[in-house]
Amino acid sequence: MVNSITLSTDMNTLYLIDSGRAIPFALQKEKMILVGLLKGQIAVATSLSADEMADASTGGTGTSELSAADTLLRGEASKSGTVKVEVTPKGQWTVVFNRMFQSMALIGAVEINPGLVSEDPDPFRPKVFVFNLEEFVIGINRVDNALIFTPFRRVVKNVG
């Protein structure tokens, strides 16, 4: 069975769905949830804390050399390639994995008004951001009322 991922409806938890079980990862300010590939399957892990990352820094794996055009297959990002979306009571976001294209998509909308009581419903404008997981590991965290997706270029170390 192919692994998959999704966000909880309150957007505070990312779930890795693996062989009939859902493994929760709390989205928090202090640590990122890292999403990447392991032999073509989506994998999720908790990052080190900021202090631990500073101690274990290897250099050259961050986002400083990235541009928005490098990081997304679809959607718009900041100059560094980071995607930040608002979490609002009228909005909803989720993430999905596409195994065929080895990519992860962030799909959602900030203003959802289905117009059930209005004669002229306001159409919502969904946004889609697609990350290439063959080239990047995506760090996800929640800071206040925002989800932040930070791409890190995959680094292959030669052992020898």
Q: Mind listing the pLDDT tens digit for each residue in 9-22? A: 999 999 999 888 99
Could you give the CA distance from residue 69 to residue 153 in angstroms, rounded to a whole number? Answer: 13
Strand order across the beta sheet in which 103-109 lies: 72-74, 127-132, 103-109, 92-98
Q: Which of 31, 61, 62 is nearest to 46 (CA)?
A: 31
Mean pLDDT of the 69-97 span: 76
Mean pLDDT of the 42-70 span: 60
Which 3 state secondary structure label does DSSP give 103? strand
Report pLDDT for 70.
Answer: 59
Overall pTM surpassing 0.85 (yes/no): no
Could you give the CA distance from residue 30 to residue 112 in angstroms, rounded to a whole number? Answer: 30
For tokens 């909880």, name the residue: 8
Residue 153 bridge partners (DSSP): 136
Domain layout of the chain by residue ranges? 4-153
- More confident of the two residues 87 and 55: 87
